[in-house]
Amino acid sequence: MISEKLAEILDNINYLHPFREGNGRTQREFLRLLALEKGFTLNLTPPDNKSVYERYMKGTIESDVNTLTELIFERIDTNEK
């Protein structure tokens, strides 16, 4: 399932935390591009939905792949979720 794979990738990248600032923005854009490459649309930063951001932060801070998988599953636009 693509949402599980993207969540695992996100968790691994977040663990590395490669930048001093902007890790979250960079990670979300990277995931968006990975999904797009596979023909899916993913938006983890909708400006009108604070809950998405809070769940994203919880998942990344706590390394909670299940929370990240659920969030990505809900936010990805595909017929094969």
Instruction: Quick: pLDDT tens for 46-78.
Output: 778 889 989 999 999 999 999 999 999 999 997
Distance, CA of 20 to chain centre: 19
Q: Which tokens in the block code for residue 66?
A: 């299940």
Q: What is the mean pLDDT of the chain?
A: 92
pLDDT tier, 81 (very low <50, low <70, confident <90, very high otherwise): very low
The three-state (H, E, C) secondary structure of the chain, written as one string = CHHHHHHHHHHHHHHHCCCCCCHHHHHHHHHHHHHHHCCCEECCCCCCCHHHHHHHHHHHHCCCHHHHHHHHHHHEECCCC
29-43 mean pLDDT:
95
- Residue 66 is predicted with a pLDDT of 98
Instruction: Tell me the CATH number for domain 2-77.
Output: 1.10.3290.10
Domain definitions of the chain by residue range: 2-77
